[in-house]
């Protein structure tokens, strides 16, 4: 009897432990079936994915070019005026796209430059100022002019030392604001600009009342922009105070850190630039 009872217990134990093993085998069969279905779907979709990748458009990568050669080619094709081409001699840039403005911007990305467009959006002039520098020229240095020296003799010549970059010359001037203070600024000498051209951020620095400025839509490198037009009380060239100077203020992102000393000042004099000695001379007409 004892032996029979033990056999039953053994049989019962064997029967009891066979249930989880059977459940595990069933789970494996289900997982295999799911895996086979997934692999079948992937196999059906794989040709479609491969064809899609082959037919997908691949964006054209920018190519490296000699900047001076590319500028010469673009100038010949689009007949715009180019100033400062000698500053990019031997430099390598990137060229991409068919739009002229975007192509020029990418090509000159490592150089400070100004692109001027005509009313129809065509590029009329490109001015290269030099390699982009992390050093910002003096811009917002304020001076109290309440005790300024009297105006110099208007018949005397004005002689200023220039900062030369290639064939271009810049001069350090002082812009007089509405409250009598002066802001020091490095401006590019540009007889192609009708007036003094400044970034709009200088309006506040000069203490100019916004309400005193007019507005005018102008075409810039980034499209149509609204310029603020006004008259500076004076521009100082050394000790000479030039009064009543028309100025145009452009948004900073359209002009960058550049500024132009244009014909609203230069047009009052006969201009001579001495390249050898880096000197600007203005003679009264």
Q: Give the lowest-confidence range in 114-123, 144-153, 158-167.
A: 144-153
Q: What's the pTM?
A: 0.57
Closest CA to 277 of 161, 171, 188, 186: 161
Pull the structure tokens for residue 175: 């812009």
CB atoms within 10 A of CB 205: 18
Here the tokens at position 93 are 């840039």
Q: How confident is the model at residue 175 (pLDDT cuts 50, 70, 90)?
A: very high
Domain ranges of the chain: 63-131, 142-284
Question: Using 50, 70 and 90 to split pLDDT, how confident is the model at 44?
Answer: low
For residues 111-128, give the mean pLDDT. 76
- CATH entry, 142-284, from 2.40.70.10, 1.20.1260.10, 3.40.980.10, 3.40.630.30: 2.40.70.10
Q: Which residue has the higher pLDDT, 68 or 143?
A: 68
Q: How confident is the model at residue 133 (pLDDT cuts 50, 70, 90)?
A: low
- The stretch 205-231 carries a mean pLDDT of 78
Q: What band does 11 get if pLDDT is binned at 50, 70 and 90?
A: very low
> What CATH number should be reported for the domain whose range is 63-131?
3.55.50
Bridging pattern class, strands 279-284 and 158-161: antiparallel
pLDDT at 28 (0 to 100): 59
What per-residue confidence (pLDDT) applies to 137?
43
- The confidence score (pLDDT) of residue 88 equals 86
Q: Any idea which residue has 């506040």 for tokens? A: 204
């Amino acid at each position: 009897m004892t032996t029979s009872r033990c056999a039953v217990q053994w049989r019962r134990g064997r029967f009891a432990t066979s249930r989880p093993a059977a459940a595990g085998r069933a789970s494996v069969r289900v997982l295999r079936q799911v895996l086979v279905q997934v692999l079948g779907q992937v196999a059906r979709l794989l040709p479609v994915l491969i064809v899609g990748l082959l037919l997908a458009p691949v964006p054209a990568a920018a190519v490296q070019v000699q900047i001076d050669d590319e500028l010469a080619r673009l100038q010949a094709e689009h007949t715009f005026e180019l100033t400062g081409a000698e500053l990019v001699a031997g430099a390598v840039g990137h060229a991409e796209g068919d739009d002229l403005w975007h192509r020029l911007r990418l090509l000159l990305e490592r150089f400070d430059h100004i692109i001027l467009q005509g009313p129809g959006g065509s590029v009329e002039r490109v001015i290269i100022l030099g390699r982009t520098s992390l050093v910002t020229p003096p811009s917002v240095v304020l001076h109290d002019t309440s005790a300024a020296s009297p105006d110099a003799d208007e018949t005397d010549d004005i002689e200023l030392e220039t900062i030369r970059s290639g064939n271009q010359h810049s001069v350090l001037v002082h812009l007089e604001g509405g409250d009598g203070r002066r802001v020091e600024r490095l401006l590019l000498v540009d007889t192609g600009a009708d007036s003094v051209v400044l970034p709009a951020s200088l309006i506040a620095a000069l203490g100019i009342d916004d309400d005193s400025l007019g507005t005018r839509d102008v075409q810039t490198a980034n499209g149509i922009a609204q310029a603020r037009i006004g008259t500076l009380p004076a521009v100082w060239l050394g000790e000479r105070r030039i009064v009543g100077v028309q100025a145009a203020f452009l948004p900073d992102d359209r002009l960058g850190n550049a500024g132009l000393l244009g014909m609203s000042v230069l047009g009052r004099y006969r201009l001579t630039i001495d390249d050898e000695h880096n000197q600007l001379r203005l003679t009264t007409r």
